With several copies, the nearest count.
Chain A
Amino acid sequence: MLEIFGTEINLGPIWLTLEVAAITTLVLLVVGTPLAWWMAQMRSSNKVFLEALVALPLVLPPTVLGFYLLIIFNPTGPVTEFLRFFGFEGQLTFSKTGLVIGSVIYSLPFAVQPLMHAFEAIPQRLLDAAATLRAGVLDRFFSVVLPLSQRGFLVAATLTFAHTVGEFGVVLMVGGNIPGETRMVSIDIFDHVESLEYDQAHILSAMMLVFALVVLMLVYGLNRRFGVKVG
């Protein structure tokens, strides 16, 4: 609890939000990178289909997406059953896991699209050069592709992170708004607005904006300092 201008602010949701956003970003970079690379390399017409598929989570309103996630991830549904088979205990919804899964799905396009774009822009001749210097596929990826798509990663990471922070519909739907467990700051602000506690809403919003501004400026600043321009 924090008091600002005589208004009490609960910091819990803020920390939770940052945690979920960070985990989501991490997961999406880890999952999205091979996916984007694979798609960037694809030449078949499946590529078009995959590209469209990846963009789909954007098309459904988050609350609706959340609704379907509720259906898919329900504790007696096939997904949970499947995970149970591998020793998973517990429930996918109403937990941090659920929040992360929901955010990951919802933000997928923001991670994959810029990454793919960045990967496609890497000149083939540099990969050729690396191959003749005995770098295998993975080695090439880490030593040439990754550093040269820095800007793409930055875009992907900031879009994903910011988007998860501001995410509302999906986490609201899947999370269960349990104070201290799944109440993210976006829901918190919304609740304040709904119950006419505008002061709290204003303060929380301002905090998030300032915080985001600082973080983003730091990230972009670092990138500008250490960035490489290809081409």
Chain B
Amino acid sequence: ETANIAVAANFTKTIEAVGKVFEKETGHHVKFSFGPTGKLYAQIRNGAPFDAFFGADERRPKKTIEDGNGVADSYFVYAQGQIVLYSAKFPVKDQPLDVLKAAEFNHLAVANPKTAPYGERAVSYLKSKGLYDGVKSKIVNGESIAHAFQYVVTRNAEIGFVAMSQVVDPQSPVYGKGQYWVVPQTDYKPINQGALITKRGKDNEAVKAFMKFIKTPKAIEIIKQFGYNVS
């Protein structure tokens, strides 16, 4: 059987890796559609043929269930994103707070706090440390965490809050270059990424199997490799 699964864009690579293993092990087939979480939400609300929905936050998957488009008890948190501060130029690994305080950079890339949980957590972290006002005028908003990362990669922003998954990936263009500092998990609310089975996928065996598979240690191992936490 085949399942169509809508996945938040930031999780693209990870879930493809998981999916490959899943397909090999179960013989089921999964097709992933990627997009911004809000867009996926709107699509499901308007009859998109998705059997499951992996969001980038908790809010929009939960809202899908509230709307009556999801299977109520299928919701779970499949991964937690980790924020890192990355720069190719500044010594963020050793003195992250000094760098932020000095604010000698032109641009600090952050995902849009309004639409991306990574951005929202990064901003609230800055605020909690009293650093926000100092860097506020330097912030450039990427529409998603991937977009914020592109700012940094292309050196348009000298420094930025990006996702752990983006710097630990051996294929990443910044892999082994520059410095990054993992923002302590304790300093921000966890970025829970929630998933659920949609009403359409209720009876889809492949989806059920996949949801089960993603909670197995094997899958969790892969997810962790890509820089996510799984609690």
* Complex A–B touching at CB under 8 A: yes
Interface residues on A, range: 20 to 34
Contacts of B13 in A (CB 8 A): 195-197
Q: Which of B42, B141, B156 contacts A193 (CB 8 A)?
A: B42
Whether, in the assembled complex, A8 has its beta carbon less than 8 Å from a beta carbon of chain B, the answer is no
A196 B171 Cβ-Cβ under 8 A: yes
If A178-B140, A194-B9, A196-B60 touch, whether A74 touches B156 (CB-CB below 8 Å) is yes
Contact at B47–A194, with CB atoms within 8 Å? Answer: no
Q: List the A side residues contacting B114 at CB < 8 Å.
A: 191, 194-195
Number of B residues contacting the other chain (C-beta, 8 Å)?
Answer: 52
**Complexed CA–CA distance, A189 and B107 (Å):** 24
Query: Are B173 and A196 in contact, with the CB atoms below 8 A?
Result: yes
Q: Is the CB of A197 within 8 A of B39?
A: no
Beta-carbon contacts under 8 Å, A123-159 to B = none
Known: A71-B46, A177-B140, A191-B112. A172 touches B35 (CB 8 A): yes
Closest residue of chain B to A194 (Cβ to Cβ) is B38
- Assess the B39–A74 pair: CB atoms within 8 A: no
A193: chain B residues within 8 A (beta carbon): 38-39, 42, 146, 150
Q: Which of B26-34, B121-129, B203-211 is found at the contact surface with chain A?
A: B26-34
**Roughly how many angstroms separate A195 CA and B141 CA in the complex, as a whole number?**
15
Query: Which residues of the partner chain A approach B112 to less than 8 Å between Cβ atoms?
Result: 177, 191
Contact with B along A174-207 (1 / 0, CB 8 A): 0011111001000100110111111000000000
Given contacts A187-B143, A195-B12, contact A70 B42 (CB under 8 A): yes
Shortest distance between the CB of B180 and any CB in chain A (Å): 14
> In the bound complex, how far is the Cα of B217 from the Cα of A62, in angstroms?
40
Are B166's CB and A177's CB within 8 A? Answer: no
Contacts A194-B37, A195-B114 given; does A177 touch B47 at CB 8 Å: no
A187 and B115 alpha carbons, distance in the complex (Å): 11
Q: Mark B46-61, 1 if CB is under 8 A from A, else 0.
A: 1111100000000110
Which residue of chain A lies nearest to B139 when distances are taken between CB atoms in the complex?
A178
- Interface status of B154 (Cβ within 8 A of chain A): yes
Query: B88-110: which have CB < 8 Å to A?
Result: 106-107
Chain A residues positioned under 8 Å from B33 (CB to CB): 176-179, 183
Is A67 part of the contact surface with B, judged by Cβ < 8 Å? Answer: yes
Does B225 interact with chain A (Cβ within 8 Å)?
no
Complex Cα distance, B63 from A191, in Å, reads: 17
CB-contact partner of B63 in A94, A176, A180, A196, under 8 A: A196
Is residue B185 contacting chain A, with contact meaning CB distance below 8 A?
no
B147 adjacent to A173 (CB under 8 Å): yes
- Minimum C-beta distance from B12 to chain A (A): 4
Is A75 engaged at the interface, CB distance under 8 Å to the other chain? yes
* Nearest-neighbor residue (CB-CB) of B37 within chain A: A194
Q: In the bound complex, how far is the Cα of B171 from the Cα of A91, in angstroms?
A: 29
Q: For the complex, is A46 an interface residue (Cβ under 8 Å from B)? A: no
Q: Which residues of the partner chain A approach B193 to less than 8 Å between Cβ atoms? A: none
Partner of A191 from the list B9, B42, B48, B106 (CB cut-off 8 Å) is B9
Which residue of chain B lies nearest to A80 when distances are taken between CB atoms in the complex? B47
Check if A197 sits within 8 Å of B43, measured CB to CB: no
Q: Compute how far the CA of A191 lies from the CA of B114 in the bound complex, rounded to whole angstroms.
A: 7
User: Does A63 belong to the interface (CB within 8 Å)?
Assistant: yes
Q: Which residue of A lies closest to B43 (CB)?
A: A176
Name which residue of chain A comes closest to B33, CB basis.
Answer: A177
- Shortest B77–chain A CB gap in Å is 20
Distance from B58 Cβ to chain A, minimum over Cβ atoms (Å) = 13
Measured in the bound complex, the distance between the Cα atoms of B47 and A76 in whole Å is: 8
B173 nearest CB neighbor, chain A only:
A198
**Distance in angstroms between the alpha carbons of A198 and B67 in the assembled complex:** 15
Q: In angstroms, how far is the closest chain A Cβ from the Cβ of B35? A: 6
- Contacts known (A177-B34, A179-B31, A198-B173); A94 close to B39, Cβ less than 8 A: no
A interface residues with partner B (beta carbon < 8 Å)? 63, 67, 70-71, 73-77, 91, 93-94, 172-173, 176-180, 183, 187, 190-191, 193-198
Given A176-B50, A196-B13, 9 additional A-B pairs, CB 8 A: A74-B46, A177-B140, A177-B141, A187-B143, A193-B39, A194-B10, A196-B41, A196-B63, A196-B166
Interchain residue pairs with CB less than 8 A apart (5): A91-B107, A173-B43, A177-B33, A178-B139, A194-B115
